[in-house]
Amino acid sequence: MSARADLLLGEPADRSNWTVRLRTRLQHTVPPGQALPDRQPVYVSSWIYVFGVLTLAAFVVILVTGGVLAIGGAAWWHTSGFGHFVNSLHLWSVELFFAFMVIHLWGKYWMAAWRGKRALTWMTGVVAFLGSIGTAFTGYLSQSNFDSQWIAGQAKDGLNAVGIGAYFNVLNPGQMLLWHVVLLPFVIGVLIVLHVILVRRHGVVPPIDAAEE
C-alpha cells in the first residue's frame, strides 16, 4: 500500500517512526471530540461541579500575579504601594485556590469519583494538592520579612529531622525563591494538565448506582 493510502485509512505509515507513534498516541489520549466538548452528561447538574474550574481559574490568577511580582523582583513589594497590592492579590488568590481545591476534594471524595478507571485522576489531584502545599511553603519563605525568618527557623527542624534539610535548605532564600518561582509551579502545572487530560479522557464520573443503559 502506498503511504498516502495508509494515511487516508488512518493507518500509521511507519510504526518505527517516533513522530508517528507520538502523534498516534496523542490523538488517542482523549476520545475524538472530547478534548473541548460542547455537550456534557445530564447528570452534571450540581454546583459542586464548579469547584474544579474555580480551582483552575485561581491557579491562573496566582500565576499572573506571581508573574507581576517577578517583574518587580523579590523585594519590590516592600517599597512599592502597587507592589504591595499585587502581593495582596497573590496571597488572596492562593487562599481562594486552596479553598476551592479542598471543596473540590471533598466533593470528589463523596462522589467516589475514582470509579470507572479514574484512580489516576484522583491520584494526580492528591499529588497536586500536596505539591501546592509545598509551593505555598516556599512562597512564605520568599517574603523577605519577619514571617519568612520565623517560618524558615521552624521548618528547618522538621526537614532536618528527616534528612531532607541537608539538600533543601530553607534558610537559603536564593534557593527557596527559585524553587518557588521555577521548579514547583512547573511541576504543579504539569500535574494539573495531566489531571485535566484524564478528566477529558474518561469523562465526568457517572452517578453511583446510575441505571445502566
Partner 1 sequence: MATTTPETPNSSTAPTRPAAPPPRRRRDRTPDSHDFPTRRYDLVKEFVVALVVVALVTVGLAAIFSSPDEKAITMRDWATAAPADVVATATGELAGTTTSATYGPPYNSNAEGQKLGPLPLQKWGGVRIPVDSAQDLVVTPLTGWARDPALRLALAAWRGASPAQRTAWATAYGDALAKAPDGNPARVAAGDYGPVPAMAAGFLSLAASGGLEGALTSSGNFYGGDQTRSLLLLSDGAYLEDQARARQLGGDQWGMMNETGNYPGQPWMWLYTFWYQVPPFSTSANADALVWGLMMLLSAVLLLVPFIPGLRSLPRWIPLHRLVWRDYYRRYGSSRTR
Partner 2 sequence: MHWGVIQISVTNLVIIGVMLVLFVLALVLPFPGAHGDDTPKSPR
Is 42 buried (19+), middle (13-18) or exposed (0-12) by CB count in 10 A?
Answer: exposed
How is residue 2 written as a grid cell?
502506498
Closest CA to 56 of 20, 99, 101, 18: 101
210 closest CA partner among 47, 44, 17? 44
Q: From the list partner 1, partner 2, none, which binds 63 (C-beta under 5 to 8 Å, kind-based)? A: none
For residues 156 and 8, give the distance between their C-alpha atoms in angstroms, rounded to a whole number: 61
| Nearer CB in complex with partner 2: 209/213 | 213
Residue 161 within binding range of partner 2, rule CB under 8 A: no
Residue 31, interface with partner 2 (CB under 8 A)?
Answer: yes
User: Which one, 151 or 159, has the nearer CB to partner 2?
Assistant: 151
Cell of 204: 465526568
CB of 6 to partner 1, least distance (A): 24
Helix (H) or strand (E) holding 36, with range, is none
Q: Which is nearer to partner 1, 20 or 152 (CB)?
A: 152
CB of 180 to partner 1, least distance (A): 14
Question: Which does residue 18 bind out of partner 1, partner 2, none, counting CB within 5 to 8 angstroms by kind?
Answer: none
Cα–Cα distance, 62 to 88 (Å, whole number): 11
Give the shortest CB-118-to-partner 1 separation in angstroms: 8
Supply the DSSP symbol for 24: H
Q: Which partner in partner 2, partner 1, none is near 33 (CB below 5 to 8 A by kind)?
A: partner 2
Q: Residues in the site for partner 2, rule: CB under 8 A?
A: 31, 33, 37, 39, 41-42, 45-48, 50-51, 95, 99, 102-103, 106-107, 213
